[in-house]
Structure formats: C-alpha cells, structure tokens
Copies of this chain bind each other. A is one copy, B any other.
Amino acid sequence: MSAAAPLRLGLAGLGTVGIGVVKIVQAQADLITARTGRAVTISAVSARDPQKNRDADLSAYAWETDPVALARRPDIDVFVEVMGGHDGPAKAATEAALAAGKDVVTANKALLAHHGQALAEAAEAQGRVIRFEAAVAGGIPVIKALTEGLAGNRMKRVMGVMNGTCNYILTRMQSAGLPYDTVFEEARQLGYLEADPNLDVGGIDAGHKLSLLAAIAFGTRVSFDAVELEGIGNVSIDDIRLAEDMGYRIKLLGVAQMTGRGLEQRMTPCLVPSASPLGQLQGGTNMVVLEGDSVGQIVLRGPGAGMGPTASAVMADVIDIARGLRLPTFGIPATQLAQPTAASSATPAPYYLRMTLLDKPGALAKIATCLGEAGISIDQMRQLHRPDDAAQNAIVLIVTHKAAPADVAHALSQFGPTGVLVGTPVAIRIEEV
C-alpha cells in the first residue's frame, strides 16, 4: 500500500483518558498503520498545567494552554476532546475545531447531551464528523453497534447500566449489607465519584448517555431534558435485601423506548431479575441492552470507565476517521432528526411496593382496596414481622401485575387517607428484561 498522509491529532485534555490515548498512539503505531494504511500521529496537546508530571513522554508534541488555539492549529486533522464539561472550554474548542474544518472525537457525554444537535448540525454543514464512542459505556463499542451493527432494525428499546459508580455502590450495599451513606463514603474515598457526586449518584451522567443512545436508536434530536431522572440516594438496604429475597436486584437502569405517545426516557432505580444479565452485573462494569425488531435482544458488557477502556473507544473513532469511515453524528443527518414528543413513562410494568402498616385488623384490606380501585392487581404479597418493633407495625411487600405508572401513583396517594399507613411507601418499577 502506498503511504497515505498521516492523520494528525490535536489532543485536548491530559487527564487519565488523554494519557491513555497518548499511550495507544505511541505503543500501537505499527498496528494502527497496518489497520488504517496510514500513520496516526499527535501534533499538539493542551492542558491547563504544562509542568505537571504525567506518565507519558509528551516531548514530541507542541503545547497549547488554550484548547481553542489547539483546535484551530493548521497541523491537526482531528480534534480529540477529553477535557469534559458541558460548557466553557470544551464547548468553545469543539465549536472552533468544527469551524476550522476539523473532525472531532470526544468522550464528552455532557457536552453532547446539552449541545449535540447544534454541534452535529455545525459538523455536517462543514462536511465534518463528530464521533463519541467513548462518551457512552466506556470501552463497550455500543455507539457503533447501534448506529451501524443494528442499522437494519427498527429499534424497540434501549436499556443500560451505564454509571459504574452507581452500580458499584448498589452491589456493594447488597454484598456487604451496608447502608447507602456508608458505601457512598467508601466510593468517595476510593476516588470513584465525580467532583460533583450528584453527576453520578443523581443519575445525571447516566442520563446524558441514555439521551445519546435514544437519539441514535429512534432518529430523534437529543433530548436530555426529557429524561426522567431519579438517583440512587433513596435506595435503602432494606429494599435491596427484600428484593433479593424475591429474586430481584436493584439497578440504576436507563430505559428508552418509542411509544405511541412519544419517546419515553428514564434513568431510575429499577428491579431486574437476579438471574438476568443485568441482574448479574456486579461492580463498576457497564451493560447495554439493545432490542431491535429483527435482531431481538443484544447485550453488550464491558468496562465503563478507566484509562485503557476509554482510550480504546477514543482510538476506535480515530481509526474510523483514518480509514475514511464517515457517518452523520447520530446516524442520520442532523437536520433530519425528528423533534421527539417527550412522553412521561406510561408503559406498564410490575411494581415492587414496600410499606409499613399499623398492625390492625383490616389494614391490609384497605391497602388492597386502594390498589384494586386503581385497577392494579397483586401478583405477590408478603407480610413481615418486625420482632423489635414495639409499636407492632407490619412491613408489607407487594409485587403487582403490570400497571401503568400513573395508576400506581394514584393508588399510592390513596394509601395515606386509609389511616393505616406508617411513613411513606416505597414503589420501584420492575423492568422486564
């Protein structure tokens, strides 16, 4: 093969992921050239502090302290953005790169969740691409699987456990029998949490990722604001234990599906069967489930974060560009993406309900009546003794048959007026996986 021109990268961000990219570019140069027919090189890098000690030899690269200046350099073909942040320098530099006619590879889910439509339109107006494999589920090549590998399918549902920190916390609570606050603190000390922990435990980071998958799956504009978000801060060790007894595990699960009412997107704690692939997922590993009308269900599992996996995903995008594989950002041209109707969740599902009732004759009948009047039937019910409860309250667990979320909410609102309820009932959706 004759020598094609090298593909020259400008790398903005020299944290864990950026250094991971440098390592692959340096260590795998021969492999990459064999696979692309050309050299992939780094021309210049940028980071806030050029003096900081980093675990890589950067001496051959030009330095820019301003990522916007990096993005505009004439000696780069691809702007690789691994700084993070959905506004400020990451956005300005990405816009500058596109305006200067560069392709963009980014790991920045927040940026695309907030500005994906405008950025995709800007890229396509310039004939440039934005690639973001590293933005969703780390090393798992899920953007490629969905955009290309399943392109012959009308997608039905996309699901995922896509925040490793949340899954670590939930599985650690379960395995060690520890409450949320204790495990949260452990995770913080282990360095697993973002500077703003709510990005993780509030479900925001995972919600960003879900909104990007939904855009590709359903050909709609990214609509992160329409994702129903509920974090894991209210998941109790009691519910984890009781769910386990009934054959379920609690996961922070993202679900996107197109319904007759519009696009449902939610990132919320859900129960899934313990024996299912999602139920078996332990620790920081990620999993994405893709359901298409022809293919059925495809499950992808792998590391959702870390230097090597994330850099692997960045490099997959770089190599695609080096090979001349070019697609619109979200699979179809940005101007053709539909504005989705945001539907609040109406898809029926079984629900797990836990409540404390006064131990009085007829208490359970009153609750059952509320459910029945809301059109909800009961699949399983257990009443648990709490021997150390001087007040003689009873814990009641109910698993319903499939019920509409609004009907469940209505039934719950009727529990209080019965006068038999102690505290606030817990309701968690059981996603059928």
Contacts and interface: CB of A to CB of B under 8 A. Distances in A.
Contact of A152 (B295, B319, B323, B325): B319
A113 B320 CA distance: 26
Contacts of A313: 295
A150 B154 contact: no
Interface stretch (A60-68, A141-149, A230-238, A415-423): A141-149
Oligomer copy total:
2
Looking at A144, A149, A154, A275, which has the most chain B CB atoms within 10 Å of its CB? A149
B277 A316 contact: no
Contacts of A1: 333, 336
A292 B323 CA distance: 20
A182 interface: no
B154 A31 contact: yes
Interface in A263-306: 275, 277, 280, 292-303, 306
Contact of A332 (B34, B219, B336): B34
Listed from nearest, the 6 A-B pairs whose CB atoms lie closest are A141-B149, A152-B315, A295-B312, A294-B308, A139-B295, A298-B302
Chain A interface category by residue count: 35 or more
B303 A302 contact: no
Contacts of A311: 152, 294
Contacts of A28: 152-154
Contacts of A298: 139-141, 300-302
Given A34-B219, A298-B301, A299-B301, A316 B150 contact: yes
B303 A300 contact: no
Contact of A145 (B35, B149, B277, B303): B149
A32 interface: yes
Given A24-B294, A150-B312, A296-B306, 16 more contacts: A1-B333, A1-B336, A34-B219, A37-B333, A139-B296, A144-B145, A145-B145, A148-B319, A148-B325, A151-B315, A152-B316, A153-B312, A280-B280, A292-B312, A295-B313, A301-B301
A203 interface: no
Q: Looking at chain A's contact residues, is the secondary structure mostly helix, strand, loop, or mixed?
A: mixed
A376 B150 CA distance: 47
30 contacts: A24-B152, A28-B152, A28-B153, A28-B154, A34-B219, A35-B151, A37-B333, A141-B144, A141-B149, A145-B145, A148-B316, A149-B316, A151-B315, A151-B319, A151-B320, A152-B311, A152-B316, A152-B319, A280-B280, A294-B309, A294-B312, A295-B312, A298-B302, A299-B299, A299-B300, A299-B301, A301-B301, A323-B327, A324-B326, A325-B325
A47 to B, nearest CB: 21
Contacts of A34: 219, 332, 336
A133 interface: yes
Contacts of A148: 141, 144, 316, 319-320, 325
A363 to B, nearest CB: 41
Contact of A150 (B141, B151, B314, B327): B141
A133 B199 CA distance: 37
A35 B299 contact: no
A173 B311 CA distance: 43
Contacts of A327: 323, 325
A145 B150 contact: no
Nearest to A30: B154
A293 B308 contact: yes
Contact of A297 (B302, B306, B332): B302
Interface in A128-170: 133, 139-141, 144-145, 148-154
A85 B296 CA distance: 26
